Amino acid sequence: MAYNKLNVLHWHVVDDQSWPLHLEAFPNLTLKGAYSPRHVYSPEDVRSIVEYARLRGIRVIPELDTPGHTQALGKAFPDVLTPCYATNEPGTAAFGRFASFEILDPTRNFTYQLVHNLLLEIRKLFPDPYVHLGMDEVYYACWYYADTVSHNHRNILPSQSNEIICYFSQ
């Protein structure tokens, strides 16, 4: 990166299918959400990567992908995900072979507490003042059709999902 004069590494460190970032306060995330115990970044791994980059003039900005791409997070904390079914029937995933639970539930207080605490833990590992929150490829129809979300946002149509995302990101 340094040779090509690139000075920021945007590290997409977690995603829908795997949570490989070990956080001391949340050991179940990697125990339940990583591909395997061998596919985990320890705090020492992260510090080593960040220091290696720093010595080359490169910042490392982690991405905690939210509110979508959170199936792996849900393996440790299933109550924070919104049920999302292709036919409104449990077991029919909206994305074929992917999750029928993969988007955070914006109506639960625990969702916000969890994200806040995850960010606090991530900040301990990454010295950069920025953390990317993802916010892409959110399957908004999940929020529109989920009973918990629609009851709390009765007047929001699928085309108005930005209002929910703004509420979530506050």
**Pairing assessment for the beta strands 59-66 and 81-83 based on DSSP bridges:** unpaired
Pairing of strands 8-11, 59-66: parallel
- 140 Ramachandran zone, left/alpha/beta (phi>0; psi -120 to 50): alpha
Assigned token pair, 27: 């050991």
Q: What is the CA radius of gyration of the chain?
A: 17
Look up 137 and say whether it is catalytic.
yes
The residue annotated as part of the active site, out of 44, 51, 137, 163, is 137
Helix extents (H) in the chain: 27-33, 43-54, 71-76, 109-125, 140-145, 147-152, 161-169
- Please compute, for residue 69, the number of CA atoms within 13 A of its CA located in the half-sphere on the CB side: 15
Point out the residues that are catalytic. 137
